[in-house]
Copies of this chain bind each other. A is one copy, B any other.
């Protein structure tokens, strides 16, 4: 296994693109990453594309990565399409890392792209429900907002977490989004607005939930041997972990064995501990998710994320900035793009290029995605650790 660096990243603004094709979104992100890396399309040796639901949303069931890359002149190389629910983009990133780390290729282009917005929201809901075990969970009606609402209630009961603390994550992430030109929402919200927003599933109002949106993100990975041909500031992949497990819905729904295990593997692989992390982009599909993930990833002691939020420890100037990009809650969550966009965000911070949302002295960043079926051991969790 060789050392692998990220030499370029790029993304579209996450938004609602009813009139723009999924392929075009992917190409815009790829072009940005290629330009950022200062690399020509003809130097790309292998491609990976992460997407979750384009078959249902656009009818384009197959070869999306090939279609995205073709019009950039990236042809005649291996291109593989990857799907792992909300971890689709991050899993594509990981396959790119493996291919370069294995020594098979020197330069990989990874793109994640998704269109979720439709004039008929029912179509989006149906597509996303395909992340569950449709034959079993589909019939139960056990959908994501319901699961996360239950987890919120249980966390509140078990640790005394308050609805104010939960809502403060939304306030924080929406504030962060204001400093991110790629964020779907760039508008602050108040605690009162979070509380009074439309109820989705008690206690989660719509401002506790990540929005429906479209977008793409891309990254260029390169072997250490070649990285300095293209950039003076590669960001190294210290760990890229994928694992499968359960959301523990039938055991302890306030904790994730899945994330704990993935994080443990990642810290061991990288030879660091959670205390070394300068910033984290975690999968805040709902406000409560940021609590559970940060606790399960070992970034914060179990049950204490509420206090951390109260004390501002996870804000951009705090002890451990979490989701400085705005996170899924504000930046948006076009599923296949999310994991790659998280990598882009961390790369910008480690390079000192994150503008007004820059985390100072950022040296090591963590990204996390989890997705997939709710019950049973079928969720896919990724943790990447990136360092200067």
Contact = CB atoms under 8 A, between A and B. Distances in A.
Contacts of A126: 59
A55 B98 CA distance: 27
A244 B76 contact: yes
Interface stretch (A180-188, A190-198, A374-382): A374-382
Main secondary structure of the interface of A (DSSP, over half): mixed
B84 A81 contact: yes
A53 interface: yes
A272 interface: no
Contacts of A63: 83-85, 131, 371-373, 378-380
A244 B79 contact: yes
A249 to B, nearest CB: 14
Interface residues of A, number: 63
Nearest to A74: B244
A133 B77 CA distance: 18
A58 to B, nearest CB: 7
A206 to B, nearest CB: 24
A125 interface: no
Given A1-B104, A378-B67, A83 B85 contact: no
Given A1-B104, A23-B135, A66-B379, A55 B130 contact: yes
A95 interface: yes
The number of times this chain is found in the oligomer is: 2
Nearest to A61: B130
A134 B131 CA distance: 24
A102 B242 CA distance: 16
Given A83-B81, A243-B78, A55 B59 contact: no
A40 interface: no
Given A82-B80, A135-B23, A66 B102 contact: no
A130 B59 CA distance: 6
Contact of A243 (B76, B83, B241): B76
Contacts of A77: 243-244
A98 B91 contact: no
A67 B377 CA distance: 8
Given A95-B95, A98-B104, A52 B59 contact: no
A239 to B, nearest CB: 12
Contact of A66 (B47, B129, B244): B244
Interface of A: 1, 21, 23, 47, 52-53, 55-56, 58-63, 66-67, 69-70, 75-85, 88, 91, 94-95, 98-99, 101-104, 126-127, 129-131, 133-135, 138, 241-246, 261, 371-373, 376-380
Given A82-B82, A98-B102, A101-B104, 10 more contacts: A53-B61, A55-B61, A56-B59, A59-B126, A60-B134, A61-B127, A66-B372, A78-B241, A79-B242, A80-B91
Q: What 10 A-B pairs have minimum CB-CB distances, sorted nearest first?
A: A61-B130, A102-B102, A75-B377, A66-B378, A55-B55, A78-B242, A63-B372, A62-B85, A81-B83, A62-B131
13 contacts: A60-B130, A62-B83, A62-B84, A62-B131, A63-B372, A67-B373, A67-B378, A70-B376, A75-B245, A76-B261, A78-B243, A80-B91, A83-B83
